[in-house]
Structure 1
């Protein structure tokens, strides 16, 4: 009987050690997840510092230059700021049934192109989503109902997984779309990234109006 208190103490101590170990493992896992997702304060600070620097640089551009040159600079700078593989600028047709690419910047192989047309006939759900939602922050474009129709002839061939599409507004009317596309793996778009993208769309509108 004299050994019971010692056994009890050892049992409690062991239980506490196991509990502490489980808590530590859980906290380590949560911390790794937060760091991976970019929720730690240092990551947020670095992202926003980079975004603010980009805004400052682009806002000082000469908007009287040829429009294509301005659009190239806006798409390239914003692509590198968000570290995203593709950034493109699109213009709606008069009756909003087509989107024409004004400029596409691809980090690999560091090129600009001005070709491509998307039609409402081919992608009705996407056009409807842009009309209703305005901003599409899609983490997995391959499974999202709004962009799944791009899967076989656009997303898979170009290795695109995530899309962030924002409206370009001129005089409160939707002129076109600014599209960021993540290559290689899905991506969660952060609020600060969406806000940054919106500010770039505003600069594009300014360039087009100039």
Structure 2
């Protein structure tokens, strides 16, 4: 290749215009280089239609005139031999264009009227696929293209493929920015809704306290916490996943390793995640609004000194309508009073969740339904023994029962958060532990150990 062609190609390759993502600017630079390097007056960029049934002029320079998105359209049906040559994805070299087997079909309608005697088409490739060609057209006396000129035009075509990648990256960046903004707006909007609902909750709580309804307030907060933790837990998990995926896509974009399939999958995942967040935050807001019309809580959620047996009996009393409806005999076995300094609200919720779990899972094949609670005390800990006489917990799922969102009743509305909440309350709030009894043959049994100091 003559030095002048090398220099032209080097200048084009080093130009910042190629990687700025503006295809018109990059195309104009490349076609100008082709005209200057080959000493011709006419060159164009032609792109195949999506269905590859036609090829259309994207940019055409003819002397001093430059046309963007021209109306020239060549149909495969009209020029089958020429398109067959393009399908080979190799350069079309026609030294005698009007008689060459590859291009002679174009003679009457295109070549002869424009005085084109020789054509050199180099394929434009992007991500392994041919998208179109750079077409260099010689007018006037006969011209034979040499191998150096063919290599020169092919390199320019590859450079235009690089410009397409830059334009695509810019488009990805724009879409990522829009998605990020939409995500932030949706989260902010839903957060504002939830904050308004929580303000209403605080106002309702204050009114209940002023009306001396502390006994009923305990059960209401406990029930609300159980219900609202489900959609909020789903929302937090989905939001974290969206943020994680967004970070991964940003990293791959910066590294230049992001492809179309991965980006499309990311958009689908993000759409699903945002939908999940939206639905569950709406659900949480509705739950809080409905809180004003609900009953009362079990007891305060503050750390205080209280009598454990009285706390559990109060919780069971608040659950009597539900137990009666399910025809379950639930009792706390008699014993000595046990005073401790802890969180009565957490204990009430643990008991409520365990009983709710038994109602939903234990008694499908049990007629005489029973739940028994028993308290024991040592200098180091207080233990709440919980036992139902249902079907017990199958051995294969025992390691998973405290995992968030694990449930065997997904089809009937189970969220899989009930026992997970129990575990977190027992271990984190109370600073103790919850153990599953090894023998489940007589029903589900648990031990909740609460440290005395």
Normalization by structure 2: what TM-score?
0.35
Q: Is the 8 A contact 2:21 2:164 kept in 1?
A: no
Structure index of larger Rg = 2
Aligned match of 2:271? none
The answer as to whether partners of 2:125 and 2:131 remain within 8 angstroms in 1 is yes
CA contact (8 A) 1:160 1:185 kept: no
Matched, 1:121 2:77: yes
User: Which of 1 and 2 has higher RCO (CA within 8 Å, sep 6+)?
Assistant: 1
Match in the other structure for 1:89: 45
Q: Distance in 2 between matches of 1:166 and 1:133?
A: 9
Taking the aligned partners of 2:163 and 2:142, their CA distance within structure 1 comes to 31
- 1:136 is the counterpart of 2:92: yes
Query: Are residue 60 (structure 1) and residue 60 (structure 2) matched?
Result: no
Query: What is the aligned partner in structure 1 of residue 117 from structure 2?
Result: 161
Deviations 1:127-172 (A, max 9, x none): 0011126211110011112111111110111000000011111111
Partner of 2:173: none
TM-score (norm 1): 0.74
For the Cα contact (< 8 Å) 2:89–2:123, is it kept in 1? no
**Alignment partners' CA distance in 2, 1:126 and 1:54:** 30
Residues of 1 paired with 2:25 and 2:73: CA distance? 20
2:158, 2:21 → 1: CA distance? 17
Question: Displaced runs of 4+ in structure 1, greater than 2 A?
Answer: none
Aligned match of 2:66 in 101, 112, 118?
Answer: 112
1:193 counterpart SS class: helix
* Unpaired stretches in structure 1, ≥5 consecutive residues: 1-46
Q: Secondary structure at the match of 1:205?
A: helix
Distance of 1:127 and 1:111 partners within structure 2 = 27
- Checking the alignment, whether the CA contact within 8 Å between 1:99 and 1:117 is kept in structure 2 is yes
The equivalent of 1:42 in structure 2 is: none
Contact 2:90–2:123 at 8 Å: present in 1 too? yes
Q: Identify the match of residue 69 of structure 1 among 21, 25, 33.
A: 25
The answer (yes or no) to whether the contact 2:123–2:132 under 8 Å persists in 1 is yes
Specify the alignment match of 1:185 in structure 2: 141
- 1:85 deviates by 2.1
1:111 Cα shift? Answer: 1.7
For 1:102, the equivalent position in structure 2 comes to 58
Can you give the 5+ residue segments of structure 2 that lack an aligned partner in the other structure? 167-453
Q: Tell me the SS of whatever aligns to 1:149.
A: helix
**What do residues 97-151 of structure 1 show as CA deviations (whole Å, max 9, x unaligned)?**
1111111112x2x221120211101111100011126211110011112111111
SS of corresponding position for 2:40 = coil
- Supply the distance in 1 between the matched residues of 2:32 and 2:41 (Cα, whole angstroms): 10
Q: Alpha-carbon deviations, 1:165-206, whole Å to 9, x = none?
A: 111111111111111000012211001001111100010100
Kindly indicate whether the alpha-carbon contact (under 8 Å) linking 2:9 and 2:33 is maintained by their aligned counterparts in 1: no
Task: Check the 8 A contact 1:54/1:77 in 2, yes or no.
Answer: yes
Task: State the alpha-carbon separation in 2 of the partners of residues 128 and 65 from structure 1.
Answer: 31
